[in-house]
Amino acid sequence: MSIQTPERVEQRGFYLDELREGVVYAHRPGRTLTETDNVLFTSLTMNNQGLHLDAAWSATQPFGQRLMNSLFTLGTMIGQSVPQMTEGTIIGQLGIDAVKFPHPMFHGDTLYTETEVTGIRLSKSRPGQGIVTMKHTGRNQDGVVVATATRTCMMWTKDAHAASMNTNEED
């Protein structure tokens, strides 16, 4: 009697050679942003902005309530993309630019993120690696765009990553 080993699937992001320009990847589930998230993140990053921490004062301001810290929104938006896009396949993040926050997030809003691959190219100096450019768009539960950012990453091709893993195991 033989015992069969079950098939094993490990979650990972896409490799450079699996991505296609112009494709939009929807990341789910969404993430409901809470007062606790806002107060902890704002305090941990030493940002004492009253718009994040002072409910009474914020009530007198144009939005009438506290705003989620925009850097928390940015980090969450990019973080939502990681399991599907870059988990285990990224070498490093090269930059984030064109960051915009066209509409605020409030306590209790839910953030949904989509990522469009806008550029893919092999590295000229690093065989088996390449540069991917992605545009992240975050929307609230009503579909209103609350954040956008362009991110550039150095990523593995599938074969080169497998070869690097075999080389490391032999050392």
Closest CA to 135 of 18, 22, 19: 22
Residues 26-80 have pLDDT tens digits of: 999 999 999 999 999 999 999 999 999 999 999 999 999 999 999 999 999 999 9
Task: Work out the number of other CB atoms within 10 angstroms of the CB of residue 131.
Answer: 18
Residues 79-127 have pLDDT tens digits of: 999 999 999 999 999 999 999 999 999 999 999 999 999 999 999 999 9
Quote the CA–CA distance of 43 and 48 in Å, as a whole number.
7
Q: Provide the whole-model pTM.
A: 0.89
